[in-house]
Structure 1
Amino acid sequence: MDDNSPMNHATRNTRHRAARRGLAAATVLVLAALGTAPAVAQQPTGAPESSHSAATHGRGALLDITPVADLGRADVARFLASAGMDTDTVRHGLRAYRLTYRTITPQGTPTIATGLLALPKGGPHRLDLVSDTHGTMAHRDYAPSVGEDFGRFAPYLHASAGRAVAAPDYLGLGKGPGRHPYMDTKSAVTASVDMLRATRTAALRLDRPLTGEVYASGFSQGGQVAMALGRALDNGVDRHFRLRALAPVSGPYDIEHAETPGLFDGSVNDTSGIFYMTYFLTAQNRLHPLYKDPSEVFREPYAGIVDDLFDTNHTEEQIIPALPATLKELLTDDYYRQVQHPTGALLAAVRAQDGNCAWKPHVPVRLYSSSGDTDVPIANARNCAADLAAHGVEAPVTDQGSAGHNATYMKSGPQIVRWFDTVAARH
């Protein structure tokens, strides 16, 4: 099985959870009801929103802070080293908290979400902030605020370097209600912006106030989210936050022209491709109706099980063996051709996620990827760089060579920390 596959990701998650139990000092202390806010008024879909109106309607209101980890510097270094990550940027221990906060659904109705706040032990009193957005996760307990595994490598890396870190779980993952609207970039951005707002409140209450400077990064699905979040911040979505640098890793920035074609030309491995496509189709069908009955898209017996498999309560270890080995075995003949040449509702769903590199950032941007990645081919990063260049922005692509998907982040993360240090030193 390919080293990039979600099954290997899940296997590593299980191993890392076992290894981490002795490191993460979880606590039963719950600081309940640390903030109250009025009910959230429904926002029209796509309506612009000022930071004032967001506050008025409760977006980002902090509801709860729960401590989840307290690690010394050596503990953090061991944790990162267990994944083969460089530890030369580890300068501090850290404390981590699960935040519960108000946000909105893709339809604009009120809901809640959770995320991880990591704070360094030491460093300046007022902290710059890293927004870290995570990659694809099927089970809600893999999310950063709950799972002590892959979702915490980036937050712990950045916090141990001396910055606060806001890592949203997204909607429907962690302790948030409902299902995860997978690859709905718009709602991932609203959840991420509202996580920043909740983080600002929590940091004040924990006596580590924020400077307002934001360094945005993310991996895989989170790389796409980081680009879109960077755009929102650069456009002034909240007056309390100023984007300073943008460094996404292995994002599927071009589903139409890079990621989907990769399912058919061999640049995306079958196991990952089937997993991602099934997750995408079932989630997107709830947002952009693609079919009335799963049998229109999926062959039996898969038509009868795919929706339940991606209910956020099944792990990759359970999902992948239940799916076939090839896309042809998964999809009906008609839909197989539709995926090859998207039209109609499917094309609209794809294009709703694409285009997040087609803007002009006013901050430095670096893209990280790998020619050895068969989950998210490097063509995504190259196409993103081309879109940015068309808007007058030079964004170099760092190619991590033969590294697989997860290994691409393990190599890129410390490089990003060092680059953020350089950017920060210029201000």
Structure 2
Amino acid sequence: MKITGVKAVAAVGVAASLAALPMTALAKTPPERGTLVSAEPVGSVEAKDMPDYLGKSGMASPLATRAVDGFRITYRTVDAHREPATATALVAVPREPRRLLSAVTWLHGTQVYRGEQPSVRPDGADRRISYLFASAGHLAVAPDYLGLGKGSGYHPYMHHASLVTASADAVRAARAMMARRGVVVDRRLLVTGFSQGGSGAMALGHALQEGREPGLGVRAIAAVSGPYDLSWAVAEAVAGRVNNAVPYLGFAVTSWQRLYHLYDDPAKVFRKPELAPLFDGHTPSQELFPRLPQKVEDFFTPEFRERLANPEPALRALFAKESTSCQWRPRVPVKLFASTSDADVAFRHSETCAEQSGAPVTDLGEVAHNTTARLAAVQTVADFARFSR
């Protein structure tokens, strides 16, 4: 499901200036979307250590030449019901940045535990990917998403509207953080993401192109192994033709229950109702996954499996709504990455996205789902180099 160190050292430059600011100095009144609440250092990598740091994950790049300082920012946003919320994100800053920086937004794949997020887990692949982009000279912003990391509430899984607002607000807060150092961050974003974040990258790019996030635009998009057709993804998972189908569906159904109230009695949905509360973001995946059955038919009741396989109009409309991230024509460069051997998110998803958006697909070869994130990141940092500022 999740692409799963670095020795934390005292960050210099950016760290010194930001750490000196009290939280009250970082907050604005009124608490508007994208308001920066706080910023704290979470670890640095020196330039001389970057090849080894990235190489351990197979992400070495000749473009990664700068030292990087990482920060966890807390910022104000809105939840899936448009109510005020706080969220966190990792911001990776190249050491001694230019006075005008391009920004890369990295949207991570499915994660069920708060502690696995980019701003929290120091040895995670999402932290390394963010540092890759920063070491190449970009400001990298990796949202933890709503209800994950150190943010408030629960995560609205596979809900593109709230992923878009939380991601845009993370960039706004990161730009505010850099403005305090006299660094201007280009409003036109370089957007990339993997799996859940792959479809999220397309949804965010669409919102930016249409001007639905004021003050921000888009320059290029790279989407990796996204489940762009949610209706088909659910059908395939219910049929047992998807790796990790049980945790994917468990996370989705419990999230949609909070959003849409799918059921009144969990015993009519889950064969073991006591498993449902574990998809709360507070249960580590290494504790959750061993408790889950391997087969969907051992997880859901027959009645609920039938409901997912043949959804009623309201549920069908929900799936259809979250299957539209590629149904637009980009006016900026877009590249799709996927693997024909991916057993979690089938290559067909990217082919469908290509047909809908007109974007080309790059086949990364016969590799597993999580490997596509790392391979695509190295290619994307090279593609995005022409947009660096």
TM range (shorter): over 0.9
State the shift of 1:328 in Å.
Answer: 0.6
Identity within the alignment, %: 36
**2:69–2:93: 8 Å Cα contact kept in structure 1?**
yes
CA distance in 2, matches of 1:25, 1:374: 41
Deviation of 1:30 after TM superposition, in Å, equals 7.2
- Asked if 1:60 is matched to 2:51, the reply is no
Task: Indicate conservation of the 8 Å contact 1:112/1:177, yes or no.
Answer: yes
Residues 267-303 of structure 1 deviation map (CA, whole Å, 9 limit, x = unaligned): 412xx1111000000011111221111112111xx21
Contact 1:288 1:345 in 2 (8 A): no
Q: Distance in 2 between matches of 1:201 and 1:220?
A: 29
Which position in structure 1 is the counterpart of 2:222?
Answer: 247
Query: Contact between 1:168 and 1:192, CA under 8 Å: does it hold in 2?
Result: yes
Say yes or no: does 1:198 pair with 2:170: no
Q: CA deviation at 1:343?
A: 2.3
From 204, 210, 214, the counterpart of 1:235: 210
Give the distance between the partners of 1:30 and 1:329, measured in 2 at CA: 54
Identify the residue that residue 53 of structure 1 maps to in structure 2: none
Q: Which of 22, 25, 37 is residue 34 of structure 1 equivalent to? A: 25
Aligned partner (choices 157, 171, 179) of residue 182 of structure 1: 157
Select 1:413's aligned residue among 369, 377, 381: 377
Alignment-derived partner of residue 46 in structure 1: none
Structure 1 distance, partners of 2:240, 2:247, is: 15
Measure how far apart 1:39 and its partner are: 4.7
Distance change >3 Å, CA 173–CA 264, structure 1 → 2: closer
- 1:35 is displaced (CA, Å) by 2.8
Range moving further from structure 2, 159-168 or 201-210: 201-210
Partner of 2:330: 361
User: Which residue in the other structure is 1:396 paired with?
Assistant: 360
Looking at structure 2, the residues matched to 122 and 367 of structure 1 have their Cα atoms a distance apart, in angstroms, of: 32
Which amino acid in the other structure matches residue 35 of structure 1?
L
Instruction: Determine whether 1:304 maps to 2:278.
Output: no
The one-letter code sitting in structure 1 at the alignment partner of 2:282 is N
Question: Which residue, 81, 104, 107 being the options, matches 1:130?
Answer: 104
1:82 and 1:229 map into 2 onto residues whose CA distance is 30
Among 228, 236, 245, the residue aligned to 1:262: 236
| Separation in 1, partners of 2:175, 2:117 | 21
Query: Given residue 80 of structure 2, which amino acid in structure 1 is its aligned partner?
Result: P
From 324, 327, 338, give the equivalent of 2:307: 338
| Residue from 273, 279, 284 that aligns with 2:245 | 273
1:220 maps to 195
Q: Which of 125, 135, 143 lines up with 1:150 in the alignment?
A: 125
Given candidates 172, 179, 182, the residue that maps to 1:207 is: 182
* Gap regions ≥5 residues in structure 1: 14-18, 41-57, 389-393
Q: CA deviation at 1:421?
A: 1.6
One-letter code aligned to 1:374: A
Opposite residue 285 of structure 2, the aligned amino acid is E
Equivalent AA in structure 1 for residue 89 of structure 2: G
Partner of residue 169 from structure 1, selected from 137, 144, 160: 144
Give the equivalent residue in structure 1 for 2:354: 385
Please state if 1:159 is matched with 2:131.
no
CA distance in 2, matches of 1:25, 1:249: 33
Show CA shifts across 1:349-392 (max 9, x none).
3223111111121101100111111111111111111111xxxx
Runs of 4+ in structure 1 displaced over 6 angstroms? none
Partner of 2:78: 104
Partner amino acid for 1:105?
D
Amino acid in the other structure paired with 2:269: V
TM-score by length of 1: 0.85
- For these two proteins, the number of residue pairs brought into alignment is 382
Is the 1:23–1:75 contact (alpha carbons within 8 Å) kept by the matching residues of 2?
A: no
Q: Is the partner of 1:224 in helix, strand or coil?
A: helix
Deviation at 1:266, TM superposition (A): 5.8
- Displacement after TM superposition at 1:36 (Å): 2.9
* 1:295 pairs with 2:292: no
Describe the shift of the 1:266–1:30 C-alpha distance in structure 2 as closer, same or farther (beyond 3 A). farther
5+ residue gaps in structure 2?
A: none
For 1:296, the aligned partner's letter is: K
1:114 aligns with 2:84: no
Alpha-carbon offset, residue 24 of structure 1: 5.4
Secondary structure at 1:34's aligned position in 2? helix
Tell me the SS of whatever aligns to 1:92.
coil
Contact 1:289 1:345 in 2 (8 A): no
- Counterparts of 2:105 and 2:370, CA distance in 1: 19
Structure 1 residue 153 displacement after superposition: 2.2
**2:27–2:38 contact (8 Å) kept in structure 1:** no
Taking only aligned residues, the RMSD between alpha carbons, in angstroms, comes to 2.0
2:52 pairs with 1:78: yes
Residue 324 (structure 1) aligns with: 293
Deviation at 1:348, TM superposition (A): 2.9
Shift of 1:265: 5.9
C-alpha separation between the residues in 2 aligned to 1:67 and 1:144?
Answer: 13
Provide the C-alpha distance between the structure 1 equivalents of 2:63 and 2:273, rounded to a whole number of angstroms.
48
Q: Distance in 1 between matches of 2:336 and 2:163?
A: 20
Pick closer, same or farther for the CA change 1:279–1:387 going to 2, 3 Å.
same
